[in-house]
Structures are given as C-alpha cells and as structure tokens.
A and B are shown apart, each in its own frame.
Chain A
Amino acid sequence: MNTLKRIGFALLAPVIAVLIAMLATSIVILASGSDSSAGDFWSVILAKPENRIMVNIINQTSMIYLSAVAAAIGFRMGLFNIGVEGQYTLASYTAATFAGAALLPGAINVFASLVIAMAVGAIWAGIAGILRTTRGVSEVISTIMLNSIAAILVGYLLDQYGEHGGNQVRTKALHASSQVPGWVPFEDRDGAIWTLGLLAVAVGIGFWVLLNKTRFGFDLRATGLSQTAAVASGIKVNRMVLVSMLLSGAVAGLIWMPAYFGSAYTYGTTFQAGLGFTGIAVALLGRNQPVGMIFGAVLFAFLSAQSNSLVFQTDISPSVVQITQGVAVLAVVIAYELVRRYRIRLEQRSVARARTAPAQEVAA
C-alpha cells in the first residue's frame, strides 16, 4: 500500500470519531431545548478563532500535549498513571516557590526550576511506582490517592508560606529577569505564544525517539504488549515499572511551566488545574502515539478555547464541549477497530483477486 493511502487510513478513524462526536453534541443541544440551536453552537465553535484565542489555543495545546505524553509513557507499558494531575500540581507549586525565591539569577533560575519541577513530579509518581513494585499496590489506586494528597498538601503549604493578599494567597512573584514571556504574533493585547511551549516539541520528539529508536523504548513497549514475554527476554519488569513512573512524573512536572514562566509568574489563582485528566483523554484519543496525540491536543485546546465565546453569543453552556471531547475519545476507540477491519477486508479482497484472475483465464 502506498504512503498516501496509509496516511489516509490513519486519518480515517479520528475523522470518523470527530464526526460522531459532533453529531452526539448536536443531539444533546437539541434535546436540552435551549433557545439556541445546534447550528448556532457550531457556528460559534467552528468560527475562525480571534487572534487572542488563536494564541490561547497554541499555548493550551503545548500544556495538554505535555500532559498527554506523561500519561502515554505509562500507558505504553500497561501502567495506568492516573496521577499526572497530582504530580504536576505539586511540581508546579514547588517550582514556583523556588523560582519566586530568586536564589539564582535570570535564566539559570529558570533552568533550575524546570529541573526541580521534573524531580518533584518524578518523586511523586515514583511513590506509586515503589508501592507497586514492593507491595503490589495497583498504581491506579495509589495515584488517585496521591492526587488528593497533593492537592491538600499544596493547599496547606500555600496557606502557611504563601503571600496573602485580600482573600487570595499565592507564591512570591517571579523576578522579571527570570520571566520568559514569548513571541507576540499579533497585537500585544492578544498575548504571546510562550517560549517554554517549545518544551512540548522537545518532549514529543524525545518520546518518539525513545519509543521507536532506543532499547529502553523497545523494552517499554514489549512490557506493555506481553509481560510474560518481556520477563523471558530478560527485561526486569519491576525496574521498568519504576523507571517509567519516574519518567512519566518528570514529564508531568513540566506541564504548567510554560504558563508559569510565560504569563502567570506566581502560583495561586492563576494555576490551571485539571490538565492531568485532559492529558489522559488526549493520550487515549491519540492512541499513545507521539503524532496522534498532537492532533488530540489541538482538538481539545481548540474546542475549549472556542467554547468561551458561547457565553456571549448563545445560551449554551461552554461545558457542552466536554461532551464533544468525551464522545470523541470513546468513538475513536470504536472507529479504529472498524477501520482496522475494513482495511483487512480490503487487503483480503485484493489477495483473492490476484489469485482468481489467472485461474479464470485458464478456465476460459
């Protein structure tokens, strides 16, 4: 099969899934009996994004993508790290506190903070890894619990050591010399594309190389495909569990860093929670594939950003796009299976044709 056809098949399933998701959303809007129609909804969502929203979509995509990669590292070897949320919450707070303290100057401060974020994320995920390898505790359970603990812990630490102002509390603001705002493509008021969004590009390339080109990646995939075969091939599964939890947590630690150094400059109400769960959905949508997850991240970022305009132009709640997102994740699983079967049937038919063609000649 030629490359063009292969790409076509690869895109077929996601396209089907998105169409199903759009259909389901339209039905929900119709059934909800709101004054605005499904048509109004889609005309808002599918409108050309304003400049400001365009910037926002790109920035959100980078963070969602980082989160998806974090989840996918675990998924690829059959580990369900549901704890990305807790890992990046704790990592973001710690890194923001460290960066805000300005112990180091300018760029070195940024760099050190990123390392700290990764380390904290890794440690938090590593706890689940150690519980799994030494005590056999399912990482699903432990990471969910670690999510709650992280939220409580950060709340407490912020309250204890943060700067209180009005009824808000936040970490010490980042010194201007360590701010990394980014590139302004339109007007100043439309905002900047965060420089550290490039972290997502680097992590994506790194993930692809790791999976497909390295021995470690091979071991990771082999463990995910068949643990028994992995053991027989000499892979130390416990070590793999631990290392991939650490890696997954380290990537999770980076999730909010583009926003922090790009525009938030402090951890407080500015912190964007929930990206950890979005990442899991996007990893599923993109089948844990480095490229597939780019599309998933763009889709999610696009829908969320566009939905904000719903409030001004319709009486439909922006949270309706969550239905679109959710259905897309479910539908894609089914769509992939259908496309796979269709493809096999096509290939079978071409094999059968190749055989019967000469046979008929003989018969005739």
Chain B
Amino acid sequence: MSAAAADSVSADAVHAPEVRLSGIGKSFPGVIANHDVDVTIRPATVHALIGENGAGKSTLMKILYGVQKPDEGTIEVDGTQHSFRSPTDAIAVGIGMVFQHFMLADNLTALENAVLGAERLHGIGDKARAEFESISSRYGFGLRPDVLVETLGVADRQRLEILKVLYRGAQVIILDEPTAVLVPQEVDALFANLRDLRSHGHSVLFISHKLDEVLAIADDITVMRRGTTVGEADPKTATKRELAELMVGSELPSPETSESTVTDVVQLSLRDLTLTDEAGRDLLSDITLDIHRGEILGIAGVEGNGQAELVETVMGMRRPTAGRIFLGDEDVTTWDTRRLRESGVGYIPEDRHRHGLLLDSPLWENRILGHQTRPPSVKGPWINRSGARKDTRRIVEEYDVRTPGIDTVARALSGGNQQKLIIGREMSGDPVLLIASHPTRGVDVGAQAAIWSHIKRARHDGLAVLLISADLDELIGLSDRIEVILRGRMVGTFDPARVTPQDLGAAMTGGNA
C-alpha cells in the first residue's frame, strides 16, 4: 500500500510554483483592507493564514486569485511577476480558489459541475470522465461522477469544489474557511485529502479561525492583523495561546465558567413534530423536546440531517405535517414568522447572506430587518430612523463590529463582522427564545468568546436557546443538554459535562452512542 502510494506520487507528481506576495495594498471606501502584506507560499506546503475578523485575509486571497486588483504590490509566481486581471489569469499559472460560499449547480451531476466552463481542457466525453475519476481516486475524494449535486452533503460538495479546481490544473489551491461548515470527522477527512495533495506536490493556502486545526495541519502560518502581516509562526513549536495573542495583539479573555441557570419553566416545547416533503419522505420524524427558561439545548448532527428543517419549522417558515409547537403556554404551531418574532423569538440563520442580511443596504437598515414591527426600529407604521440608527451604533459598539460606519452596506463587511452584527441584532429587545444556527461560524476566537458570554448573560436572565452548531467545542461549552439529530430523528441525549467529542461524533454518524 505505502509502496504503491509512493509510486503514484512520483508518477503524477506536480511541482507547485513558489508564490510570493510582496507589499500588497488594497483600500476600500473608508477602510484599508490590506497594506504592506508579504507572504511566501513554499512549494508543496500547507500554508495557514490566520487573523481577526476584518484583518484582510479574504481580500488577500481574492487578490491572489485575480478577483480583486491590488492598489499596490506584486505577485510573483516562480520568480516571474504577474498581474492578474481575472481568475482566468490566475488559473493559467496554476492558482485556484474555493470560496466559502460554494458555487455548484444543484441540478447537475458532479461530473457536469466539474466540466462546466472547462470543456476545452478534456472535452465533455470519456476523457473528461476519466480525468474526473483519476483525480477523485488519486486524492481519495471518493466522488462518483454521476451523482446529483443536490444529494451531496457539505463535505462532499467541498471535495467537489476542490476537484473542480484541480480539474482546471491548479497546483496552488486557496481555501477560504473550508472547515467552518464541517463537523470534526469531516475536518479529519478533509485534512487527509489536503495531506495527499501536499504529498503529490500541491500547495494549499487556507484560512481558519480554529487554531487547533491550524496547528494540526499547517507547515507555515502567517498571521494578519489590521490589514497587514504581523508575523509568522512555526506550527511545531507555537501554542494556541501564542497564536491567538499574535492575532489580537493582546491576551485572550479566559472562558468564564458558569453555574447552571436552568429553571423549570418550559419556554419552547415541541410535541411529535413531523415534517414531510412533497414526495412524502420524512424530513423530521416525531421530534419531541422541551427547552426551559435559562437553558441552552444544543443540537449536534452532521449538516443536512434535518437541522435546517427543524429551525425553519420552529420559526414558522415551514408548516409541520404533524405535531405541535408551544411557546410558553401558547400553541404557536400555526403562527407565522412575524408573529413569532414579535413574541420575542430571535433568529440567527445558518446562511447569513441568504437569510440574515440585505447585503446592499446600510447597516442601520439591516438593524430593522426582522424587527420591522418593534421599537426602536419603528413607531407605529413608521420607520424610526433615528431610533434604528442609534441602536445600530450600540450594536456596533457592544459587539465590536468593525466597520467604517453604520451607513456602510452590509456587503462591505468581512464575514465575521456581518455575523457579529446579526448576533447583536437578534439579541436586541430581550428575546425569550433564541434560535441560533452556528452563531459563531466564521468569527475569530476573541469574538467567539465575546459572543458566548453575551449568550450566557442572556441565559442567566432567562433566555432559552436552541443551539445548532457544527463546532463541538461550542456545543459542549455552551449547552446545558445536547441532543443528537440523525436523519430527522433525535437519536440520543448527552450531558455536556461528561460527553467527549468522540462520543458525540459517533452518535452523529450513526455509530453506537
């Protein structure tokens, strides 16, 4: 096995070029996203880029991939200077990128997605299929060419995105927060793929806010702060603490331990909740659970096992086929989203771009979204502009949203800062119940700690929380109780004080709990 692997390495070895970014600068209205950035990606290495939200990581990657043009600085690939006018130019010298928001066509097959737009490379027939299969097996992706993308889970979609980039001949692969959407087992599998890529001679440049992962896989680490590279760290010797302190430039707050605040007043109660799709398949089956005031109930599960459906049903965006939902004493099964929100249900959606923001509207208008019928955003039928603006300023302050101002459009914020704005908004107006899907997805370690303490404080004051997260540390650290969801069913209850990530992982994938 190892001999064969060694053989194949030499057979299809690629020689990723050395990529050197020097003196890169890029400004947007009101912000300097990058200045004096120097990074060198050595051939056949995994290079991690870390830094606070808004440090300029995504911007730098977009510059390297030709999506954005730098104002100053140079990009050298194997010693030759290049200026990329578009991603096509970057691909031509072997640089490919997978964005955080996947860009696959759901109703096409995996093979069709890979070939789409690259028909000139290997045609669309048998040669294309052979190339697809050879990439998939070479790096252990295990993707079947004819499977419909809509049936794939996140981890497979991500592998397909990487395959797509390899299919186009990329030797340097850029991944923007690839692990944010994965559960630990999937992260391990992805890292195995990345190691394979490296041993074949590819380089990988990736962003992550999870420092354990960075230490586990990276050969080189570059730290960015406030738009510039502030240092490099050696993963063999560096500790998480050191990295975090390099990132924020100060010490991290230590996580506060807290007493249980669970009361015996039930805030949300689901009774035999069932949801079936048009084809009659069960998306959710007989879900029964209670969340008390002052309690955080964590839902663990691999993405795509009914979490999204559960949230949308509780939020009134889908009608359950059977079963009842109670908010306090009230039967809210048939209530619509607005009425639920008016009764104090906060909602942090899984996909912030699709469900959480008006990307082209200013921040203060985004403050109103979802709160259109409640002060301080409105006065009767009128929009209360000054009230909304004032409260937006409060959120920006309290949640440390890094922005030039509240008139900036949401699109111009970095991913983590968009998330902080949403959290601040949904925690406004003293909600009684918070439905939180991946609340700290994409935020840096410092902000994550801050968000956790916000949530804990609200819990102390009686907030009930339904927490869905792919981050097991978050689930274990925050929840008072954890339920595991698998194929639309609750399959086990765990005590976070005693459960290990391994146990949870086994239960989530259907192993024995």
Q: Which residues of A contact B (CB under 8 A)?
A: 212-219, 221-222, 225-226, 228-229, 231-236, 344, 347-348, 351-352, 355
The stretch that binds A, out of B25-33, B249-257, B292-300, B465-473, is B25-33
**A to B CB contacts below 8 Å, 8 in the list:** A215-B382, A232-B315, A233-B338, A233-B341, A233-B372, A234-B336, A235-B338, A352-B71
Q: In the complex, which residues 127-184 of chain B have their Cβ closer than 8 Å to any Cβ of chain A? A: none
Taking A213-B382, A348-B71, A355-B32 as given, write out 4 further A-B residue pairs in contact, using a Cβ cutoff of 8 Å, ordered by the A residue number. Answer: A212-B383, A229-B355, A234-B338, A347-B29
Q: Which of B29, B336, B338, B360 contacts A348 (CB 8 A)?
A: B29
Categorize the interface residue count of chain B: 35 or more
B contact residues vs A (CB 8 Å cutoff): 25, 27-32, 35, 71, 315, 317, 336-342, 347, 349, 354-361, 365, 368-370, 372-373, 378, 381-383, 385
Contacts across chains A and B counted by CB atoms under 8 Å: 92
CA distance A347 to B404 in the complex (A): 13
Nearest CB of chain B from residue A214's CB, rounded to whole Å: 6
| Contact A355 B27, beta carbon cutoff 8 Å | yes
Contact B381 A216 (CB under 8 A): yes
Contact B382 A351 (CB under 8 A): no
Bound: A234/B371 CA distance, A: 9
Q: How far is the CA of A229 from the CA of B358 in the complex (A)?
A: 7
**Residue from A229, A344, A352 within 8 A of B369 (CB atoms):** A229
Assess whether B338 is in contact with A231, with CB atoms less than 8 Å apart. Answer: no
- Using CB atoms, name the residue of chain A closest to B30: A351
Chain B residue contacts of A348, Cβ below 8 A: 27-29, 71
Residue among A218, A219, A233 having the largest count of chain B Cβ atoms under 10 Å: A233
Residue numbers in A under 8 Å from B354 (CB-CB):
226, 228-229
Select one of A214, A218, A234, A351 contacting B31, CB under 8 A.
A351
Q: How near does chain B come to A296, taking the closest CB pair, in angstroms?
A: 22
Contact between chains at B32 and A215 (CB < 8 Å): no
CA A231 to CA B369, docked complex, whole Å: 10
In the complex, the chain B residue whose C-beta lies closest to that of A1 is: B29
Please determine whether B25 and A352 come into contact, CB atoms closer than 8 angstroms. yes
Whether the Cβ atoms of B372 and A215 lie closer than 8 Å is yes
Q: Are B28 and A231 in contact (CB under 8 A)?
A: no
Q: Are A231 and B317 in contact (CB under 8 A)?
A: yes
Residues of B with C-beta under 8 A to A236? 336, 338
A221 to B365, CA, bound (A): 11
In the assembled complex, the Cα of A329 lies from the Cα of B487 at a distance in Å of 52
Q: How far is the CA of A206 from the CA of B337 in the complex (A)?
A: 29
Q: Residue of B at shortest CB range from A226?
A: B358
A347 to chain B, nearest CB (A): 4
Q: Residue of B at shortest CB range from A212?
A: B383
Chain A residues with CB below 8 A from B359, complex form: 225-226
In the assembled complex, the Cα of A216 lies from the Cα of B35 at a distance in Å of 43
Q: Which residue of A lies closest to B359 (CB)?
A: A226
B25 CB contacts on chain A under 8 angstroms: 352
Give every chain B residue within 8 A of A213 (Cβ-Cβ).
382-383, 385
Q: Does B27 lie within 8 Å of A215, measured CB to CB?
A: no
**Cβ contacts under 8 Å, A235 to chain B:** 338, 372
Using Cβ atoms and an 8 Å threshold, which residues of chain B touch A214? 381-383
A346 to chain B, nearest CB (A): 9
Inter-chain CA distance A348–B368, complex, in Å, is 29
CA–CA, A228 and B347, complex, Å: 14
Q: Once bound together, how far apart are the Cα atoms of A32 and B315, in whole Å?
A: 63
Would A232 and B370 count as touching, CB distance under 8 A? yes
Enumerate chain B residues within 8 angstroms of A222, measured Cβ to Cβ. Answer: 358, 361, 369
Bound-state CA distance A143–B349 (Å) is 36
Interchain CB contact under 8 A, B361 and A347: no
How far apart sit A193 and B341, CA to CA, in the bound complex (Å)?
50
Complex Cα distance, B372 from A226, in Å, reads 15
**How many angstroms from the CA of A231 to the CA of B356 in the assembled complex?**
10
Checking B31, B360, B370, B382 against A233 with a beta-carbon cut-off of 8 angstroms, the contacting residue is B370
Measured in the bound complex, the distance between the Cα atoms of B33 and A344 in whole Å is 14
